[in-house]
Amino acid sequence: MIRCAGALACAAALAGCATSAPVSAPEPPPPFAQGAVGATLIAPAAGTRRMEPARNRRFIHPNLESPAPLPLYPPALLPQRLEPIVVCVDAVIGVEGAVTAAAPRLDAECAPPTDMETTAFVDAALLAVRAWAYAPALLCVAPDSFDGDDACRAEGVVETPTAVRLSYAFRFSQTGGTPDVERIGAP
């Protein structure tokens, strides 16, 4: 702390501070090449059986718990600067909320795992999805006499954890060696 006896001495002391060389922050290292991955929950495949709950029933969708990391862009494929690719995965969420099964989904919008590059993307997606955890889906069943709007809030409701199958689309892309993340499919 500088103590000044007079205004002139104080001004001289402060002027000395102003002539100090500015401290600059070090430059961050350049980013390494990486690919980007976006994921979206997509509609079930055509012909999939759907629940039609009665008025005294309500389905609560499973919630993906954090952290739920996205798949990694396969590092060996980064130098190839491939066009964006979409792969889809079906995941079965068990009554405890764990992924009990995961498999590639073959649709018109999804790349079939037919070549080595596509297989690497599918494998990355499957590895990530199998590690995810959810708050399980629930089926709320209110007494038959229930006549309200929300069966899950009824007196005497029974909540039963329910296994479900979810489908995800993953878009792996890079633009000029720079990551690009996009969400695709249903909002």
Question: Rounded CA gap, 85 and 171, in Å?
Answer: 6
Q: What is the pLDDT of residue 176?
A: 67
* Residue with token string 């922050």: 25
pLDDT of residue 39: 56
Please give the full DSSP string across 81-122, using - where no structure is assigned: -PPPEEEEEEEEE-TTSBEEEEEEE--TTS--S-SHHHHHHH
What is the domain partition of the chain in residue ranges? 34-45+52-179
Output the tens digit of pLDDT for each of the chain's 187 residues.
Answer: 444 455 444 444 444 444 444 455 455 444 444 445 455 667 777 777 766 778 899 999 998 888 888 888 888 888 888 888 888 889 999 999 999 999 998 877 777 777 887 899 999 999 999 999 999 999 999 999 988 889 999 999 999 999 999 988 888 888 766 544 344 543 3
- Distance, in Å, from the CA atom of 160 to the CA atom of 133, rounded to the nearest integer, reads 18
What is the model's pLDDT at position 11?
43
* Type of residue found at 102: A
Give CATH for domain 34-45+52-179: 3.30.2420.10
pLDDT, residue 14, reads 43
How is 19-57 classified by DSSP, letter by letter?
Answer: TSPPP-PPPPPPPPP--EEEEEEEPPPTT-------TTE
How far is residue 167 from each of residues 24, 31, 75, 85, 104, measured CA to CA in Å?
49, 32, 25, 16, 9
Q: pTM above 0.85?
A: no
